[in-house]
Each structure stands twice: as structure tokens, then as C-alpha cells.
Chains A and B, each alone.
Chain A
């Protein structure tokens, strides 16, 4: 089921296999029967690596979720905790271990992705550290998410890097990139933009020096690595994504490759049967390129999805009609052998038609349209220096705070900061309507630069917009010819930087690069003689683009679009700390987001 990982330019299944091997090795270290106690958060990311069957083969007999109190009964030799390094989880583990009366057991902890001194201290505090036979780490830095996509699934990375200035996640990034190079060869060229990018590159070069003894003898798969700080482009995630996959994420949220959808649209009724048995559980679907149809439509602008679906529907019904033409036994046999595939295609079509309907209900609503209009006004620089009446009205109507914050930050970013008077007005309205405690969140947004008062310096956003062609008047949604189709007009800044780097090169945009935060740089890593690739005529180059602090599905769509362009000569593999959208991103920066008014 991981076949989709090896379909792309780079076989990411190798990485998955490496991760699986390591997991097996750890499990075998704890000899005898075992039960795994899961930090629930980890089951999602682990699901991308391994299935239960793998664990079973290594004598995992029971699995539980980590909860306070006593461990459920299990007749096993080993209890293994799979946890993130969080202090509060250590307290729960301690409680579990204390209340377990079976003396003959061995306890183990597997920290994912890293051990933490703080956590071990905490266990020591609780007096249980001595009870553990193995304390280990499972370095799940980069998880293969799809054929061209790697994610660290680290939710807090942006907050840690840009709000708390904690660089631990950057260290993990560098480590992850070293693992990647161990498997796919040294990446000869490194480009970067931003403070964090600089840090990661420094760490990588340093780590390479430390391993100087052992030369990597693998022929490089990647030609270039591009490290991009999220704060170089704060604008893009704030805008509403308009690709199919982007909208699914905006509306329902995709976690670890799964989405939960309202069940009503998915119930199928048999003729004559009432609707009494409608499912009430959310419908959960896995979304990746293993599904043919999804791979085809995920990156399209939503306005082009309807046409694609109906085209597909025609093909499928035609295929089913074929049965009337099947006359001979051979033909019938042939038809029957294709049935499973056709039925899978049909159910896939049914699912995506339902999802598209759900999304359409929303995108055709007045509220969605109004919101989009305001976003586009900001991005094109219309009235960004005034109090926006739509935002004001939204506050008065108490729409969810995250939406307000998203729009306000967008306005601030597109105006290189808000006028003090405007900023004060928004803040006052928000605090009065949603509660004064949100002062803390507003301060966080200011610290990360998402929200700021305008200083004396000139608003340089228009210059950036014009130079990088961030706004395209005539974006073609149906048959796109430019990346701006992913936001129906706005071309993501981050992807423009990537595009320009490939051709004609960053030297052509020095001025703009200077306006964006952080240094830009280029490094080269020496390859051992004999590993220099001899490129065939017309062979594409491969770039790994690493987004530090998160990337959106729309940006990924734009990069895939560039990969597919005939004359681009470049294929992109995408890596990130976390897949984000504007809402999940803002939420990660809020203090006490749960106190938010409904």
C-alpha cells in the first residue's frame, strides 16, 4: 500500500523502508511478548510508516492509548511507551508504572522523534526513571507522505522557531536532511533564504564535517536543496487556498493524510429502503496519490474539478456499458477481470463527487465570496491602510476569531504593517468582543511579524508584488499556464522564489530578496570524484524544496504544476516541518485557543 511512494521521480519508499527497519530493530531489542502504549497523537504519523501487521510480527500483542490511572490488563513481558517528549505525558507514564502491580515486567520508552533531557528529569522526579530497561529515541524526522512529499509532522515548529526562538526543530530538520542524504546521496547545491534556513545549512555543513571520515558513495538523486523560511512568505498561508485539496484542508482539515467528512452525503440507500440507518459517524477517507482520480484532481483549481469529475463519470459508465458488447466467453472473462478496478474507480468517483458537492455548498455562499473579495483586495493592494469594514462587520457578528485574525494579518502583511491607529482599532474591537485574554494572542502575532505597526519605512509590498508578478489578472483556472491559478490570481511568493531560482536565478531579483527578511545564500557540497552525474540531454534536474515552518497544499500544487510544465526542466520534491493552512497556523500561535467564542 506504499506503492504510491515509489511512483515519483525519487523513490521515497526507500526512506519508509529505512524507518520500518529501525522500528523492527527496536522491537526486537525488547525480547518477548509486548504491549505498546501509544501517545494517541503518534498513531497518525506512525500509520504512514507501518501497519499493525508489522508490529504483530514482532510479538506486539496488545496496543493501548496512553491514559492516566492503571494500565489495562495484558499478559505480556514488555510494556513499551511510544510517546512524544512532553512533560505532561511523563506524569501519565509515571502513574501507569506506579499502579502496575506486575513485578516481572520490563518497561521501555521510545521517544519520538527525540529523547529529551527534560522528560527524563521529570521521570526521575517521579521516581520511575529506574524502572525502564530501555529509553530510546525513534528518529521519525521526515515521514514520507506521498510520492513527492515529506513532512516532519511537527505542529509546533513555526511557533518554536519564530515565537519562542527555540531551535530544536531546526536541529531535527538538519538531522533529517542528513538521513536523507545518507539514503539519496549528498546534495551538491544548497540555496536558502531566511534566518532558519541559514541555521539549518550551517548545521548540515557542520555535521558533514564531523562525519568527514566516511564518504557517501551514493550517486546523488537531488541536484539542489532549497531551504525557505516560512517568515520569508507570511502572506501565502493566510490566503484561502482554492485548489481542490487545499479547500478540503481549509474546510475539513487533513490530518496525517486522512480527512473526516460529514456522513450524510456518503450514505447510499438501497431501493425501497428508508433512510433510518444513516450513519452518524464522520466518514473518514485517506487522501493520497494511490487513488488515481484523486491524484488527477487534487491540484486543480476547484472551479475545474466539476468538469474533470463529469469527464471521468463518462469514461466509467462507458466502461460499464462494455458488458453489452462482450459476446464471447473470452470477452466476458476479460470484462469480469476488470470489474474490481472499475468498481474501485466508481466508488472513488462517488466519494469525490460528494466531497465536491460539500465544498461547492460553501464556495458558492455569500460569506465565502465576500471573504475572498476582501482577501484579493488586500493582495492587490486596495485600501490596505484603512480600517476594513468587512473585518469590522465580522467582528460585530462574532464570526470565529481565527478568521478575523487571518484577515487582519493578511492586511498587515500586504501593507508592510498597519497604521498604528488602524491596529489599535482592530485590537480594541477584538478584545472587547472576544475577551481581553486574547491580548496574549495578539502579542504573539506581533512577535512573529504577522501583525505589526507600520514603521517609518516605505511599504515595499507593491514593489515585491510587481517584481515577482504575484498578482496575475487573467489567471486561467481551467487550463492553467501559471502557478497563480492555485489562488485564482495570486501566485504564492514562496513558489515564485523557487521558480526564479531555477530560471533565471536569484541574481535577477537581488533587490526584492533584500526586502524579504533574513539572509539569502548559496553553498556547495563537494562530491567524491566519480559521483558527478552525467546528465542526459533533456533530462530534468531535481530540487528538494524544504519549507521551514510549514507549507500549504496550494503551494504544493503550484510546485507540482511547475514540475509538470514541459519546458521547466525541473522536478520538485517537497519537504516541510508540517502541512498547514491559515487557520491551523494561526491556531498554533494562539494562547488558549479553546477559550475562543463559538
Chain B
């Protein structure tokens, strides 16, 4: 009963609703919005204007209950935003605006966030985690803006963690010795609050040298995981790599390094970066993949440069007839092979862009190569190329059709590319399963196949039935009539 009680027909068909309205921010059509609102209101008038615990909900066209939060956000936003998004008015970038002077003392933590180093001089009292008690809304909460005072006391590690969990202000500075610090960390881990574990790790990261911290973390799996997560979140790639190295987690280190390539948009820089990845300690399988990745991009850059020029100069008829939809850069290997089969099919194996070269370089399986080439040549309607893909010649010089995938799949692909009946027929004949052969022949309207198959199976009834589908004057009709009159055939029915 999520719908309004209002009559369904009225709801859907009233002229106010005929134009479905949206609550999108972009919707600057004020009149429509007003009208819609009126409509919404008129609907709500139909239902009991009760408190919201009524089991009837008001629903707008988009299905949001009228008055739901996401509805209202859009509603107030769209009626407020001036036409022409306010985002376009140039805003001062944060970097340009003066840093707010803070009178706090202590350490600068900004060095921890190297990714987005801000205008210097923002000092903060690092380790006093000022907190307003989370769930006790007492009047003292209306404190002066962001109070950050250092609170010194002699809490034990356990008490400190507990206070932090309760959102109290604590100082970590008094934990000076390594032993104390680790005790503090262990207590935090016992408490399982990731937020507090992270807070303590930030303190440790600053107050301990890297080697010592790493060494201590080795024996503390949970804390270590939080530390890794923290470094990832704050984008401290370098420290993280050092850590993995120190831990002997070389594969993680390699993968993390490799992942970085996704952020590089310039293809040449990306290629060079991938080259540096080749020497990383990947697992043997992954190492092969990274090598292939590098080789592929290297090839793509060469092919792209060449093809772009050929296309621009109008040197190639193929590019004119089938303009490239996008560049080949960063496409998967199979897509690249398809591209090559499409634009560079007849090139000799020596050229980088030839299908044969790609097939050999990446050691592609026969099936993969075959399907890709078939798809590309069928798309171009190059039926002779398709035909020769299947043709093998034995030592006596006889030709034979062979395929690494089922002929049914081949037919699907050809059919999708609108292959003519004459082409399809050849492969329907090659299907071994009789029932399948008939079905496919029906599907593709290969009359000859059907007629000949019924002849071969001496099925007069089927043949008679099939004959009725044709005009008396048609070739097929006459052909069937000839067969039926053929006294040489011994019909089974």
C-alpha cells in the first residue's frame, strides 16, 4: 500500500502528470515544477493529513515518497539553484585562500598527508584528540569553536584507550618508551575500535623511526592491517612500498606498484612505467601477464600512431569506409586482435600490426584467434576470407572444412553479421546432427538444405508439407515436385 489512496487512474492520467516531472537539479523549468507540486499537494489532500505513521505514503512519480529525504533534497535544491549552475562561477581554490591562522601548538601532521600538502603553517596539536562526548548531549557541548586542549594525566594505556572510546580528550605524549607505546597499541587492538587503533598508529608513525615501527608491527597482524589500510587511504604509496618490502610481502609490493599505472593517462609514460614494473617480484604467472601488458601497450602505441596518420591522410579506403570509433590504446588484447583482423588482415607476419604477428607474440590459442578473426571478417562481409579460415588442404590436395568451434557457433556469428543464405548454407550442410541441421536450415531459410535433407531421409510427408509453403511458380516448388515424381526414390512414408 505504498501508493496514495487517490484513484489510480486520476493519478496517472491527469494532465498534470502526463509530463513526467523530475526532481533533478538540472530541472530549471519552474512552471512545470510548480505545477507538479500543486499536483502532489492535491494528491496529499485526498489522503488523510495524518501524522507520518499513517500506513499510507505519498509518492511522487519518481516513486520517492513525497516528503522523503531524498525527495526533499532534490526539491529544495532545484528551487534554489539559480539557472546556470552556480558551480560555474569561479571559486577560489583552497590553495589560494589564506590559511586560517591557528594558535594551536604542537606538531604538524600535514607532513603525513603528502598527497595534498596545503599551504604551510597550519599547526595543530597533534595528539590531543578533542572530542565532544559522542552520545551525551550535555550543554557544555556548545564549546568555543574547535577546542583542542592538551590534557595531561596519568592514565594507563588501558584507561587511555577507554577514554578515547568514550570520546574524551587524551594525550598520547606521555607514552615515551617503546614498551609503553606498544602496550598502548596492544590495548587499542584489544578494543577493536579501528578508529582508535589508527589514531595511535598515527602517533607511532610520527614518534618512532620506520624500521622500529615496521619491526614491531610484524608481530601485530591486526595493527599492521590497519596501518596498511591507513597508508592506502592517505595515499602514502612510498611508505607502503617500504613496508611491504620490510615485511617480505614482495608480491603485494609488486601489485601495488603495478596498480599505479591506472593513474597514468599519457600512453608513453604509462608504457615506460610498465617497463619499470617488469623487474618487480611478481609471482611467475603474474610476471608473464605484466610482460604481455607492457608488450601490448608498446605495440598499440606504434599501431595507433601509424593508423592515425593513414586515416588522416585518407590513404586507406578501409578507414574511409569504416572510420575508427576510438583509438586502440589501452584496449584488451583480444580487442586489439580484432582491430588488426579488421584493418590489417592481409599484412605479412613481419609487421607489428598483422594478426599473425599478434597471434604469435602473445601465444594465442587457436580457438581465440579463430573466433576473433571470424568476427572481424564477417563484419566486413569478406566471405571469401571467412571461407578460407575453415579450409584445410590435405596432402592429396583435397580441401576440407574444419573448425575449432562448433559449426553452430560459426553460424550464429555469421547470421548476426547478416551473411547471405548462400554463405550460411555451406555451414548448415556441415552440421552433423540431423535435427539441428533442419532447425538451423529453417531458421536461416536455407531451402535447398531442407529439401535435400528430406530427400536423403526419404521423408515424403515432410517434403509435401514443405512444398505448401511455396508459390506454384517458385523454383523450390518445382524442385520438390520433381523429387516427388522421381520414381527412383523409395519413400519411407
Q: How far is the CB of A122 from chain B (nearest CB, A)?
A: 7
Q: Given A171-B193, A427-B285, answer yes or no on A436-B296 (Cβ-Cβ < 8 Å).
A: yes
Instruction: Name the residue of chain B whose CB is nearest to the CB of A259.
Output: B63
Query: Does A443 touch B at the CB level, under 8 Å?
Result: yes
B393-435 vs A, Cβ < 8 Å mask (1 yes, 0 no): 0000000000000000100000000000000000000000000
* Bound: A340/B10 CA distance, A: 13
| A121 proximity list for chain B (CB < 8 A) | 109, 112-113, 202
Of A52, A132, A268, A286, most B-chain CB atoms within 10 Å = A52
Query: Does B482 touch A at the CB level, under 8 Å?
Result: no
Q: Is the CB of B57 within 8 A of A286?
A: yes
Q: Is the CB of A439 within 8 A of B258?
A: yes
| A348 proximity list for chain B (CB < 8 A) | 1-3
Of B55, B110, B195, most A-chain CB atoms within 10 Å = B195
| A135 proximity list for chain B (CB < 8 A) | 132, 146
Q: Is the CB of A136 within 8 A of B134?
A: yes
* Bound: A344/B190 CA distance, A: 54
Instruction: Name the residue of chain A whose CB is nearest to the CB of B330.
Output: A435
Q: Given A258-B63, A348-B3, answer yes or no on A51-B141 (Cβ-Cβ < 8 Å).
A: no
Query: Does A541 touch B at the CB level, under 8 Å?
Result: no
Q: Is the CB of B89 within 8 A of A343?
A: no
| B57 proximity list for chain A (CB < 8 A) | 1, 286, 290
Q: Indicate which residue in B54, B73, B77, B99 contacts A127 across the interface (CB closer than 8 Å).
A: B99
Query: Does A321 touch B at the CB level, under 8 Å?
Result: no
Identify which of residues 1-42 in chain A touch chain B, using a CB-to-CB cut-off of 8 Å.
1-4, 22, 25-26, 29, 38, 40
Q: Is the CB of A65 within 8 A of B146?
A: no
Q: Given A135-B132, A171-B192, A268-B12, answer yes or no on A281-B73 (Cβ-Cβ < 8 Å).
A: no
Q: How far is the CB of A141 from chain B (nearest CB, A)?
A: 12
Q: Is the CB of B116 within 8 A of A91?
A: yes
Q: Given A62-B76, A98-B92, A125-B113, answer yes or no on A432-B334 (Cβ-Cβ < 8 Å).
A: yes
Q: Is the CB of B59 within 8 A of A286?
A: yes
| A407 proximity list for chain B (CB < 8 A) | none
* Bound: A443/B285 CA distance, A: 12
Q: Indicate which residue in A69, A117, A206 contacts B195 across the interface (CB closer than 8 Å).
A: A117
Identify which of residues 66-93 in chain A touch chain B, using a CB-to-CB cut-off of 8 Å.
67-70, 72-74, 87, 91
Q: Is the CB of A439 within 8 A of B289?
A: yes
Q: Is the CB of B122 within 8 A of A127?
A: yes
| Interface size in chain B (residues, C-beta < 8 A) | 112
Q: Is the CB of B19 within 8 A of A277?
A: yes
Query: Does A531 touch B at the CB level, under 8 Å?
Result: no
Query: Does A139 touch B at the CB level, under 8 Å?
Result: yes
Query: Does B333 touch A at the CB level, under 8 Å?
Result: yes
Q: Indicate which residue in A131, A279, A429, A431 contacts B146 across the interface (CB closer than 8 Å).
A: A131
Q: Is the CB of A43 within 8 A of B73?
A: yes
Q: Is the CB of A166 within 8 A of B226?
A: yes
| A3 proximity list for chain B (CB < 8 A) | 53-55
**Band of interface residues on A:** 35 or more
Q: How far is the CB of A340 from chain B (nearest CB, A)?
A: 4
Q: Is the CB of B368 within 8 A of A396?
A: yes
Q: Is the CB of B5 within 8 A of A164?
A: no
* Bound: A184/B77 CA distance, A: 39
Q: Is the CB of B122 within 8 A of A74?
A: no
Query: Does B194 touch A at the CB level, under 8 Å?
Result: yes
Q: Indicate which residue in A125, A282, A345 contacts B110 across the interface (CB closer than 8 Å).
A: A125
| B308 proximity list for chain A (CB < 8 A) | none
| B290 proximity list for chain A (CB < 8 A) | 436, 439
Q: Is the CB of A270 within 8 A of B132?
A: no
| B183 proximity list for chain A (CB < 8 A) | none
Q: Given A116-B195, A171-B192, A291-B2, answer yes or no on A47-B145 (Cβ-Cβ < 8 Å).
A: no
Q: Is the CB of A52 within 8 A of B72?
A: yes
* Bound: A73/B109 CA distance, A: 33
Query: Does A335 touch B at the CB level, under 8 Å?
Result: no
Query: Does A358 touch B at the CB level, under 8 Å?
Result: no
| A283 proximity list for chain B (CB < 8 A) | 63
| A51 proximity list for chain B (CB < 8 A) | 52, 65, 67-69
Query: Does A331 touch B at the CB level, under 8 Å?
Result: no
Q: Is the CB of B53 within 8 A of A98?
A: no
Instruction: Name the residue of chain A whose CB is nearest to the CB of B73.
Output: A63
Instruction: Name the residue of chain B whose CB is nearest to the CB of A13.
Output: B53
Q: Given A126-B118, A285-B2, answer yes or no on A166-B55 (Cβ-Cβ < 8 Å).
A: no
Query: Does A532 touch B at the CB level, under 8 Å?
Result: no
Q: Is the CB of A69 within 8 A of B87?
A: yes
Q: Is the CB of B109 within 8 A of A125?
A: yes
Q: Is the CB of B70 within 8 A of A43?
A: yes
Query: Does B62 touch A at the CB level, under 8 Å?
Result: yes
Identify which of residues 262-301 in chain B touch chain A, using a CB-to-CB cut-off of 8 Å.
262, 285-286, 289-290, 292-293, 296
Identify which of residues 316-372 in chain B touch chain A, using a CB-to-CB cut-off of 8 Å.
330-335, 362, 364, 367-368, 371
- Give the segment of B210-218, B227-235, B238-246, B472-480 that binds chain A: B227-235
Known contacts A132-B146, A133-B145, A431-B332; 20 additional CB pairs below 8 A are A3-B54, A3-B55, A46-B69, A51-B52, A52-B68, A63-B69, A64-B76, A67-B87, A69-B91, A72-B81, A115-B195, A125-B110, A126-B118, A127-B118, A139-B134, A164-B225, A199-B192, A277-B19, A281-B20, A436-B292
The 5 closest A-B pairs by CB, nearest first: A284-B63, A168-B194, A52-B72, A165-B225, A436-B293
Contacts from A to B (Cβ < 8 Å): 1-4, 22, 25-26, 29, 38, 40, 43-44, 46-47, 50-55, 62-65, 67-70, 72-74, 87, 91, 94-95, 98-99, 114-118, 120-122, 124-137, 139, 160, 164-168, 170-171, 174, 199, 202-203, 206, 210, 258, 260, 263, 268, 270, 273, 277, 279-286, 288, 290-292, 340-341, 343-348, 350, 393, 396, 398, 424, 427-429, 431-437, 439-440, 443, 591-592, 595, 597
A to B CB contacts below 8 Å, 8 in the list: A1-B56, A4-B55, A129-B146, A171-B192, A279-B20, A285-B63, A286-B57, A341-B5
